[in-house]
Amino acid sequence: MTGAADAHLDTAIHALLQRVTAEAIMPRYRNLASGEVEDKGGNDPVTVADKDSEKLLREGLAELDDSLAFVGEETAHADPSILDRLDQPCWIVDPIDGTRNFASGKPPFGIIVARADGGVARSGWIYDCLTGRFCTAHLGSGAFIDGERIAARPTGKTPPVAALSLIFMQETRREATRRHITPAYDLVDIPYCAAEQYPRLALGENDVSIFERTLAWDHAAGVLWLNEAGGKAARPDGSPYRVDEVGRTGLLGAASPALWDELADLYARLD
Give binding residues for Mg(2+) as ranges: 73, 94, 96-97, 218
Residues 140-169 as b or e (16 or more Cβ within 10 Å = b): eeebbbeeeebebbbbeeeebbbbbbbeeb
Q: d(Cα 271, Cα 269) in Å, to the nearest integer?
A: 5
Of 102, 73, 75, the closest CA to residue 192 belongs to 102
Pairing of strands 251-254, 208-211: antiparallel
3-state helix, strand, coil in the chain (%, to 5): 40, 25, 35
* H or E segment and range at residue 46: strand 45-47
Question: Which residues contact residue 245 at a Cβ distance below 8 angstroms, ignoring those fewer than 6 apart?
Answer: 119, 214
Q: d(Cα 269, Cα 67) in Å, to the nearest integer?
A: 44
Mark the binding-site residues, compressed into ranges. Answer: 73, 94, 96-97, 218
Cβ(152)–Cβ(205) below 8 Å: no
